[in-house]
Amino acid sequence: MAITVDTLTQFPIKGLSGQLLDSVNLEAGVGFPCDRQFGFARPNSGFDPSNPQPLPKTKFYMLARDASLALLDTEFDEGTGCLLMRGPASSGRFDITTTVGRAEASEFLKTYLGLPDAETPQFFEGAPHRFTDVSVVSKEMMNAVSIINLDSVKAFSTAIEEDVDPRRFRGNIHLSNLPAFAELEMIGQTLSVGDVHLKLVKRTQRCPATEVDLKTGKRNMKIPRLLRENYTHMDMGVYAQVIQGGVINLGDAVEIR
């Protein structure tokens, strides 16, 4: 059975919900469009938008420390620059192209998380900088695409006798029909999807963000520990660099080179 593209997801705001896509146009060396383009930084993060430099993820509000973010549904409209945030009890729409809109979005998140004024989030963009977890590794890794093999997630679910939602791993591209965990042994190889060439460059080690149930906003599954106990590592998925660009559509066939 052919390996196929099952899901395409972008995460405009670091740590917040993803947006499903029917297709995506990738450019060589650029990464996944509008992915982790924005972030809510913690106070005194040290981020300078005029001279953006990589920061560790601990400098941001994100699932690994703020589990209730899982219940905050977000939508970003690239055309208008409007960010919609919907929580269980409140929602807001913010024009993040303006200083006022960014401040209002930060205030909304502060209220949602129940933070004191001294911990008000700071909304940042530093394009072409991206707030990816691996931005601290290199500029090339900052622009890497995250790939999840759904068959690996299924095998993991079977091993721990629990249903693991693949969305916990926040991948840009989900693949189907690739043998479980084969991707971890394919570093250095290339996946071709039509005209697009993706070189696999790094295994993805998992952190406590994956422990959060996306439906309840509670930590209910020790994913990193369970991976280590069952496979002697904490890896699920791989990072890839876009070597040759083009359009990827849902259902496209994938070749390994």
How far apart CA 237 and CA 149 sit, in angstroms, is 6
- pLDDT score for 195: 95
- φ and ψ of 194, to 5 deg: 60, -125
- Provide DSSP, 161-195: TS---GGGG--SEEEESSPTTGGGG-TT-EEEETT
User: 171: closest CA among 203, 124, 216?
Assistant: 203
Lowest mean pLDDT among 44-48, 106-110, 228-232: 44-48
Task: Sketch the domain layout of the chain as residue ranges.
Answer: 3-9+16-31+137-256, 38-132
Under a CB-based contact definition with an 8 Å cutoff, are residues 122 and 38 in contact? Answer: no
Q: What percent of the chain has pLDDT over 90?
A: 88
Query: With 90 as the cut, is the pLDDT of residue 82 above it?
Result: yes
153-210 pLDDT per residue, tens: 999 999 999 999 999 999 999 999 999 999 999 999 999 999 999 999 999 999 999 9
How far apart CA 104 and CA 93 sit, in angstroms, is 9
Query: With 90 as the cut, is the pLDDT of residue 110 above it?
Result: yes
How far apart CA 158 and CA 175 sit, in angstroms, is 18
Query: With 90 as the cut, is the pLDDT of residue 136 above it?
Result: no
Q: What is the CATH number of domain 3-9+16-31+137-256?
A: 2.40.33.20
Which whole number is the average pLDDT over 32-42? Answer: 95
40-62 pLDDT per residue, tens: 999 999 999 889 888 899 999 99
How far apart CA 197 and CA 209 sit, in angstroms, is 29
How far apart CA 94 and CA 106 sit, in angstroms, is 10
Query: With 90 as the cut, is the pLDDT of residue 22 above it?
Result: yes
